[in-house]
Amino acid sequence: MIARAGAGPLRRLVVLRHAKSAWPEGVPDHRRPLAPRGRRDAPAAGRALVEADFLPDLALCSTAVRARQTWDLASAQWGTPPPVRHDERLYGADAAELLDVVHEVPAEVETLLLVGHNPGLEELVLGLAGDGLDDTLERVHVKFPTAAIAVLTWRGTGWEALLPGAALLTAVTVARGKKE
């Protein structure tokens, strides 16, 4: 299936899976922090977004500690981070629930960053992508690892018009920081 061309401005949905998390004993899932690798990879994700010119107008971030830390470290790589909304609905959300949240985004936002968790993010990317450039769809089908970034583009007058199969998956990157 090929992504349908729509009317309206070009919009981008940038999907960032939180960086690698730690599994400390006795810590509830929602409170798990980033692991050392995650603390290296999250800034690399921020740099990758700058280099690709995919900086958002608005960020929506899960309230889980590992997602919030990913956002903090990634956005610290930018001169002036955009507004962020921490939304508890993003924690544990499936693709349909994530899309419901995206549909609420104001029309003036042209590039939206969504920071959250699998399997919901992977399902969302695959569900929204009617087509992909190069091997992007295949790569997401194989794995959407921690600190992965997917960029979906589409045309529409507002976010409520974003429907399954309507976007083009234009980029997939897995951010990895260097060990010191």
Give 30-77 pLDDT, tens digit per residue: 999 999 999 999 999 999 999 999 999 999 999 999 999 999 999 999
Nearest to 87 by CA among 109, 112, 67: 67
Quote the CA–CA distance of 15 and 148 in Å, as a whole number: 8
User: What average pLDDT does the segment 120-134 reach?
Assistant: 97
Quote the CA–CA distance of 163 and 171 in Å, as a whole number: 19
Calculate the average pLDDT of the chain.
94
- Quote the pTM value: 0.94
CB neighbours of residue 44 within 10 Å = 20
| 162 or 4: which leads in pLDDT | 162
Percentage, residues of the chain above pLDDT 90: 93
- Contact yes or no for 125/144 (Cβ under 8 A): yes
Q: How many CA atoms lie within 13 A of 143 on its CB side?
A: 4
DSSP 5: P
pLDDT surpasses 60 at 5: no
Quote the CA–CA distance of 146 and 115 in Å, as a whole number: 11
- The dihedral of CA 138, 144, 150, 153: what is its sign? positive
Tell me the C-alpha to C-alpha distance, in Å, between residue 66 and each of 73, 114, 148, 152.
11, 14, 14, 23
DSSP string, 15-78: EEEPPPBP--TT--GGG--B-HHHHHHHHHHHHHHHHTT---SEEEE-SSHHHHHHHHHHHTTS
Q: What is the pLDDT of residues 88-123, one digit of tens each?
A: 999 999 999 999 999 999 999 999 999 999 999 999
